Structure formats: structure tokens, C-alpha cells
Structure 1
């Protein structure tokens, strides 16, 4: 194998590990023609019921997200339990809508580090609300292009309850397929023994 191929393989592996996402060949799919999103209707408690591979959540179970919108900005509080120690944890983030009713959000993980560092932390970046009915489910999507050859993406399926009815999963998977995403990349999030 040529040194160019080794370099390309090393770069792809490094990029995938750094972003901790699921790498794939090609560029991110276009997220045009997404429905408008009324951020205030997302207010309240949500639970992660499915997700694509995300290294920073491998040790987590019982993941919940509380969304508190204020205009085009929403405060997100993520709660979880550690799978190994069973200890509880919390993360904070701020999501800002790009425009009125835009399905695109800019998420910044909060912390004590400076703003430029927080912007590149795992989890910070652009997110799309792929589909939601506000009362039962929401699908969140993020994708980063890595050069022209690869992209790394994340998908989260959120539900108002710890379990999501199969009838809503059909709608979710149809929306994913419509936007060029495969539902077989999703795995169930452990929502057992969360009390």
C-alpha cells in the first residue's frame, strides 16, 4: 500500500475518533426541505430512546434531556446514569435557532472552558431537527464533512416517554429514509432501572 493510502487511512481513523461519530464515505446529505420547527413546542422532558454510534455516550444509560426554550435559544440539561458505576451525571448546553422556525440549531456545550474551546468540544456543532410531532417524538441529526471523502454523522431519537410506541418508529424511519439516512444505524438506548 502506498504511503498516500496509509496517510489517508490514518487521517480518516483520527477524524472518526476525534469526532466520536459514525464515519461514512461521501459528503453529508443535504438537509433541505425540512419542516419548520416551533422551538417553544419542544419545551419539557424528553428521553433518548435510540441513537447512532456515539463514543461519548457508550458509558451512559437512562439519558434524558430537558429543553427550556426562550425565543430562538433553548437551554438543554442532559441527565444520565453511568452504566458501570450507576452514578448520575448532568451536562448543560445552549442551542440557538438559525432563524425563525428554522430546523437548524447551533449547539454549544457549556462549561468552564473558554468559548473557542467549548465550540469544538464533542457535542458542539450544527444540529437539525429532522422531524417531530412535538408530543411523542423528535429526531435530531448532526453531520460533519471530513475533507471530500468522508463524513461523520449522529442521529438521536427522542421520546416524551422512556419507551416509544412502534407506530411512531415507522414515521421516524420513513423521515430518515426520505433524507438519505438508514434506520439500521440506530441502537436502542438503555432506559431500564433508571429510578
Structure 2
């Protein structure tokens, strides 16, 4: 317990605007038989759990396979652009990607819980801090800037069924974006 108290001042700056939960990360099921080639392309952020590394409106993510079989991740919005690399870490669970946005950080989890490839994707990531608490990240992505309310509702149900607290999830503004990007 003393170690936890000593680590809190170091960790607290990292969790500003994050979703902090007690206990270890949940381990939800991911998309079976995930097909990366059908997933690549442009996705728009519909809703997310707040993350300190991501703000603004008109946020989109573009995925492309590089010649070395890594995946280029290009996230952009009206306030920032970030380029990273994703990799499939285990071909037996291809929907569990690892993503990094710098050469100096390890790959963080980017798990595709569900996608139909043509309209919606449900994404989860979690950072475990000594199995005492964890930081949740969650996104609902769409191939269009707006999804039907029923589609968003079903995506949120998937998080809830997997015991992922999305009570802090916020919609991403996607109106008036075509003139910004």
C-alpha cells in the first residue's frame, strides 16, 4: 500500500481527464475473425471516453497498411494531428492491436470489440496500474460523421455487457467539419 501512495503523485498527472477505475483492466472479447483489410480506411469519432491526448472536434482516424505490414494510424481533428503505428500482436486474436504514437513508448492496447466494417466500430483500450486501478479509453467510430442513435445505443450496450464504465462518454462534434479538414 505504501508503494501505491508513493506512486500516486507520479501517476495523477497522467490521468487528468481520463476515466480511472479501481481494479485491473477488464478483458472483453474482441471481434472474432477480424479482417484488417476490411477495417483499414477512414473512420470518424462518434463518441469517446475523455482522453487527455485527444481534444477538439471533427476527429477522424485513417488506417493504412504500410509495405512492412505495420499499420499507419493518422488521427486528426480541428486542434491536432497525430501519426502512429499499429501492429497485430497475435494473429490468433487479430482484433487486439497494439498502437504507439512515439518511438519511445511501448505499444498500448487497441482492441476492436466489434465492427461491421462498413458503418460502426467499437474500440476499447485500458492501461493497468499495478492491478490496483486502471485507466479506460473507449471509442465508438463510424464510417460516416453521424451514426443513427440506435447504432450508438447498441455500441454502448456492448461496453456495458463487458463491465466497461462508459458513464463519462462524450459525443464528438462532427458538424461543420468538411470545411475544417
Using the size of structure 2 for normalisation, the TM-score is: 0.84
Give the counterpart of 2:82 among 83, 86, 91. 91
Larger radius of gyration: 1
Query: Is residue 36 from structure 1 mapped to residue 33 from structure 2 by the alignment?
Result: yes
TM-aligned CA distance change 1:134 to 1:15, over 3 Å: same
Alignment of 1:87-126 (within 5 A): 89-100=80-91, 102-110=94-102, 115=103, 117=104, 119=105, 124-126=107-109
Tell me what 1:78 maps to. 75
Deviation at 1:32, TM superposition (A): 4.0
Q: Report the alpha carbon displacement of residue 37 of structure 1 after superposing the two structures with TM.
A: 1.4
Q: Tell whether the 8 Å contact from 1:72 to 1:99 is kept in structure 2 after alignment.
A: no
Q: What RMSD in Å do the two structures reach over aligned CA positions?
A: 2.4
Give ranges in structure 1 of 5+ residues lacking alignment: 83-88
TM-score (norm. length: structure 1): 0.79
Q: Does 1:189 align with 2:172?
A: yes
Give 5+ residue unaligned stretches, structure 2.
Answer: none
Q: How many residues align?
A: 175
Map 1:29-178 onto structure 2 (within 5 A): 29-32=26-29, 34-58=31-55, 60-69=56-65, 73-82=70-79, 89-100=80-91, 102-110=94-102, 115=103, 117=104, 119=105, 124-178=107-161
